[in-house]
Structure 1
Amino acid sequence: ILDRYPYYNLRESEQKKDKFNNASLGVLDFLNRSILDLLKELCTTAETNGLNVSIDIENQIEFTEIESNTRLPRNVAEDQVKDEEEHVIEICEKIKHISRLMNDSKISQLQNRNELKLAVLKKYNEKRARMHKNLIHNIQSDFDTHIKNTRIEARYQDLKILRGYVSMPLHLLEISLWLAHFYERHEDEIRPGENRTRISMIVNKDVLLDKIINFGFYYSQYFINEGNILAGEILKCFTKIVKVELPVPKPLGFHARPSTLISIIGRQFEDLELSVIVDGEKFNAKSVMSLLQVGGIIADKGYQTIIFEGDKRVINDL
C-alpha cells in the first residue's frame, strides 16, 4: 500500500496523506514486530524439539524494501473498446452500490477494547471482509477489462484516479481479511487449545483488533466513499436526458403503491433527477407526495398516458 499509494494520484490533501501514511507505517511496524516475534517463538519451539534452526532472527527485515515500480507506459496498448461509455456508467454504478453497502455496516473508529472485540466478532469479521473484497475486486477487474488503456480513459483523466479509489480499499480489505482470519483462528478467546494462549502472549490482541477496525475496515470505507463521490461526478459527464410517454397505472392511477414504487426506482439513482411532466409543468418523480399530486391532476383531466423525463438509465428501469 505504501508503495502504490503515491502512484494513484488521489484527490487527497497533504494532511490526509500524512495521516494515512502514518497510520500505514504504524500497521507495518506492528506486523513486522509480530511476525518476527512469532518467528523467534517458532525457532525456540523447533530447537526444544531437537530441530536445528540456522536463521539469523536478529536481522529484522523491513518488507517495504521489496518493491516493484517498473511500469509500462500507459499508451502501450490504447485499445478501442465497444460501448466504452456504457462500461464507465456500469462501473460507476457498481462503485456507488458497494459504497452504500459498506456504509450500511456503519463502520466507525472505536477505542474501547470491548467494543473492538465485539465489532470483530459480530460485524467486521473475515466473512464481511471477504464479501466486500470480492465485490471491489470484480469492479477493478471490469475496469481493467473495459476501460484501462482505452481512448475514453485518456479523454477522461478522472477515470485513472477512480481506479485508485477502487484499488485502495481492495488492498485494505485484504489486510482486514487476513488479520481477522488470524484473530478468529488463533487468538485465545476464539478457539480452545494450548497454542492459542501462547500466540495471544506474542501478538498484542488489543493492537490487532485496533488495526482490523480502525485501519483496515475504516480506511477501506473512507476510500470507497471518496470513489463514490468521484463516480457521481463522472456519471454527470455521461448523463443522457430522454423523455418517454408511459401509460397511467390501471385501474386506480397514481395511488400510493405505484407512486411509492416509482419513487423507490428514482431514488436508487441518487445523483440523477427524475421528473414527470403534466401540462408542461414538471413534478419531482422521486417524491411520493408529488406523484400523488400528479395523480389527482391526471384523474381530473382523464389522461391515459404521462411523460417522464430523466437520465436514460432511470427511464429504462421505469
Structure 2
Amino acid sequence: MNPCVTADEGYCEISFAEKVRLFSFDYLKCCIYLASGPLPAAAFTKKLYSELVSTSQVLEDFLDFHGAKNNSQWYCYRELAAAVRHLSLGGYSQKHIANRLIFYDLPQTEEFSDAGRKAAGFVNSALMKLAPVIINEAKHLNIPIPEHAFGPEDFPGTTTGEMLPYSIDDESKDIQKKHIVKIASEFLGISTRFDQLGLYEPYSIEEIRQLVPVQVNEVAIRRFEMVVHNLQSSFDTYVIHGGFRFGDRKLKQLRSHFSVVFHLLQMMGRLLHLYERHLHEAGYKNIYKQVQDRLAALVDPDQLLECTVNYGLYYACHYLSTGKELAREILNENIERGRIEVPIPQKLGFHSRPSLMVAKIVQYYGGQVELVIGADRFDASSVLDIQWAGGKIQKENIERVNFEGDVRALKDIEILAAANYGEDTMGKGVPLPNELKYLR
C-alpha cells in the first residue's frame, strides 16, 4: 500500500505547506509569465485565460477550505487569487466575442469592436499588475516559486487561417415554426424586461456609482444571463444545430444578437462580482480594508465600473434593442394566424382599461394582431389605436368586432372578452381568469 494513503480514509496525507505549493505551482507559473514584461494583446488567448481561471479557482477553493478568509496571514493571497479568477473569466468572455464577431453578421460593429479592445486592455493590464504582487506575496508566505515559467508557445490562440469543410447541411434539419415563434417571442420579452436597466448613452463615473450596485448588480445581471443562455440553448437545440456560416441568415442574425448579449452579460457578472465582493464592501475588520485598498490600487474600481457599464451594459442594451425589429419580422413570418369575432366591452366600450388589457395581451406574445372594423385596421398592440377604433365603434353603434393575427393572442383576447375585458358594466375592475394572470 502507498504509505501516504490510509486504509480507512483513502486519501494522501500531505502537509498544508506541500499542498499549497502544489496548488500554487501552475498559477505562479502563469504569474511569472504575466510579470515577464508588457505582453501584447495577442498574448492573452482563451487558453491563457482558461489556465488562469482553473489554477486560481482550485487555489482559492483550497485556501477557503483551510480558513484563509479568517486568517490575517493568508487572506490577501486568497483575495488576489479571487481577483485573478474573475478578471480572467471576464477576459475569456470578451475574447470569445472578439473571436466570433466576424461570424455574427451584425451591422456596424466597428465601434463595438474598438470598445471591446479597450475593455480587454483594462482586464489584461490589471492581470499584469496583479502578477508581481502575487509572486511577492507567495515569497512572503514561503511558497516556493517555480524555476520555469510558461511561455507564449503554451497559450496558442484558437483561430487559424484554415476552416474545416462544411459537410452537414443544417437546412435539412426539421425547423419547427412553433420553436421559432417561441424563441422570437422570448427575445422580445427579455428585451422589454431589460429596459429597466436601459442605457443608451455613456454615463459619467458619478452616475455609474449611483447605478451600481443599487440598480445594476451581479444578481440582476446573472438573472438576465441565465434567461438569455436558456434562449440560446433552445435555439441551438430546436432551430439550427449548425454554426454561423450558412443557413437561414435571418435566424442566424437573431442568434447573433442574443449570443453577443449573453457573453457581454457573462463578462459583466464577473466584473460586478469582483467590484461588489472585493472592491466595494470592505467589511468591518481592518485587515479586510487593508487588502481592499491594495486590490483597488491594482484594479482601478472606476475603470472597472466604466468597462462594465459603458461597454458591457451599453452594448447589451444596444443589441437587445436593435434585435427587436428582426425578432418581430421573424415572428410574424412564422406565427399561425387566425381571426376571431368578439363583443365590445359592455357598456363603456373600448375606453382606457379594456384597450390597455388587449394591448398588453398582444405585446406579451409579440406577434401582429389587428382590430378590424370594416375596411379599417387598427394596431391591437397600441392603446391609442384601439381607442381610436373605439370612437368609430361608438359612432357607428357596432356591437361586435374582429381581431386578426397571432392565434396565441387571439385565444387570450377571447378569454378576456368573455370576462367583459376585466371590468363590470360600471367600469370597475373585476378579477381576471387564471389564464390571464400575466396581466395582473
Q: When the two structures are superposed, what TM-score results if normalisation uses the length of structure 2?
A: 0.61
Partner of 2:145: helix, strand, or coil?
coil
Name the counterpart of 1:158: 250
The CA deviation string for residues 192-227 of structure 1, in whole angstroms up to 9 with x for no partner, is 512111111111111111101011111111122222
1:46–1:53 Cα contact (<8 Å) kept? yes
**Number of residues of Structure 1 aligned to a counterpart in Structure 2:** 306
1:85–1:238 Cα contact (<8 Å) kept? yes
Q: Is it true that 1:136 corresponds to 2:246 in the alignment?
A: no
Name the counterpart of 2:4: none
Q: More relative contact order in 1 or in 2 (CA 8 Å, sep 6+)? A: 1
Name the counterpart of 2:137: 45
Q: Aligned equivalents of 1:266 and 1:172: distance in 2?
A: 30
Q: Supply the AA of the counterpart residue of 2:117.
A: L
Match of 1:177 among 269, 288, 299: 269
Q: Is it true that 1:306 corresponds to 2:401 in the alignment?
A: yes
2:339–2:404 Cα contact (<8 Å) kept? yes
Q: Aligned equivalents of 1:111 and 1:306: distance in 2?
A: 48
Q: Aligned equivalents of 2:120 and 2:247: distance in 1?
A: 37
Q: Aligned equivalents of 1:188 and 1:297: distance in 2?
A: 62
Distance verdict in 2 for CA 1:282–1:51, change over 3 Å:
closer
Calculate the aligned-residue CA RMSD, in Å.
Answer: 3.1
The CA deviation string for residues 73-93 of structure 1, in whole angstroms up to 9 with x for no partner, is 3726665436x1111111111
Match of 2:158 among 67, 77, 88: 67
Name the counterpart of 2:301: 205
1:274–1:314 Cα contact (<8 Å) kept? no
Name the counterpart of 1:95: 187
Q: Is it true that 1:30 corresponds to 2:125 in the alignment?
A: no
How far apart are 1:184 and its partner, in Å?
0.5
Q: Identify the range of structure 1 (285-294 vs 23-32) with the bigger mean alpha-carbon deviation.
A: 285-294
Q: 1:224-243, aligned counterparts within 5 Å?
A: 224-243=320-339
Partner of 1:20: helix, strand, or coil?
helix
Partner of 2:404: helix, strand, or coil?
strand
Q: Supply the AA of the counterpart residue of 1:49.
A: L
Name the counterpart of 1:7: 103
How far apart are 1:9 and its partner, in Å?
2.0
Match of 1:121 among 176, 193, 213: 213
How far apart are 1:187 and its partner, in Å?
0.6
Q: Identify the range of structure 1 (94-103 vs 109-118) with the bigger mean alpha-carbon deviation.
A: 109-118
Q: Which runs of 5+ in 1 are unaligned?
A: none
Match of 1:220 among 300, 303, 316: 316
How far apart are 1:177 and its partner, in Å?
0.3
Distance verdict in 2 for CA 1:295–1:55, change over 3 Å:
farther
Partner of 2:182: helix, strand, or coil?
helix
Q: Is it true that 1:259 corresponds to 2:347 in the alignment?
A: no
Name the counterpart of 2:174: 81
Q: Aligned equivalents of 2:184 and 2:326: distance in 1?
A: 9
Q: Aligned equivalents of 1:240 and 1:217: distance in 2?
A: 35
Q: Supply the AA of the counterpart residue of 2:196.
A: D
How far apart are 1:256 and its partner, in Å?
4.7
Distance verdict in 2 for CA 1:60–1:102, change over 3 Å:
farther
Distance verdict in 2 for CA 1:87–1:62, change over 3 Å:
farther
Name the counterpart of 2:46: none
The CA deviation string for residues 261-305 of structure 1, in whole angstroms up to 9 with x for no partner, is 223323446672411325x5545544342343255257x46x4x4
Q: Supply the AA of the counterpart residue of 2:410.
A: I
The CA deviation string for residues 131-169 of structure 1, in whole angstroms up to 9 with x for no partner, is 11111111101100110148xx97632111211111101
Q: Identify the range of structure 1 (89-98 vs 256-265) with the bigger mean alpha-carbon deviation.
A: 256-265
Distance verdict in 2 for CA 1:146–1:31, change over 3 Å:
same
Partner of 1:123: helix, strand, or coil?
coil
How far apart are 1:130 and its partner, in Å?
0.3
Distance verdict in 2 for CA 1:250–1:242, change over 3 Å:
same
1:277–1:309 Cα contact (<8 Å) kept? no
Q: Aligned equivalents of 1:133 and 1:195: distance in 2?
A: 30
Q: Aligned equivalents of 1:37 and 1:247: distance in 2?
A: 70
Larger gyration radius, structure 1 or structure 2 = 2
Q: Which runs of 5+ in 2 are unaligned?
A: 1-96, 414-440
Q: Aligned equivalents of 1:143 and 1:208: distance in 2?
A: 32
Q: When the two structures are superposed, what TM-score results if normalisation uses the length of structure 1?
A: 0.83
1:276–1:282 Cα contact (<8 Å) kept? yes
Partner of 2:166: helix, strand, or coil?
coil
1:256–1:292 Cα contact (<8 Å) kept? no
